[in-house]
Amino acid sequence: MGYTNYWHQHNDFTDEQWKSIKEEYDYIKEVCKDIIVDETTKTNEIVFNGIGEQSHETFVLNKDAKPFNFKKDYEGQDTSFYFCKTAMKPYDIAVWYMLTQIQRICPSISISRDYP
């Protein structure tokens, strides 16, 4: 199944926004501790997936709109566009919660998702 969550991040998050986003992530890590596994290794990113067979595609959010190693795949690519396929597995709720909180903290972020 190709169920996907989408977002557009045009600008870097401010330090204040990033602090709030990280606090929301700390909350979701506690509430969803039986659903997600934290794969974050850097302070300027949030990375998680579902646990075990419940995993699908890793959710990755960077503080910077375009991480230092970002390269366009093709001419005219929308470099603000990001997505995470969850196949409607249980960790989808954590992905969607994170995106809604990110949009609340930073209203310039647009979010959407596929509907079943």
Q: 48 and 59 in contact (C-beta within 8 Å)?
A: yes
Report whether pLDDT(73) > 90.
no
The conformational region for residue 52 under phi > 0 = left, psi -120 to 50 = alpha, else beta, is left
pTM of the model as a whole: 0.89
> Is 93 in a helix, a strand, or coil?
helix
pLDDT in tens, 32-65: 999 999 999 999 999 999 999 999 999 999 999 8
| pLDDT given for residue 2 in this prediction | 63
pLDDT in tens, 14-25: 999 999 999 999
Q: 35 and 91 in contact (C-beta within 8 Å)?
A: yes
Residues facing 111 on adjacent strands: 7
Cβ within 8 Å of residue 77, ≥6 positions away: none
Compute φ and ψ for 59, nearest 5 degrees.
-80, 125
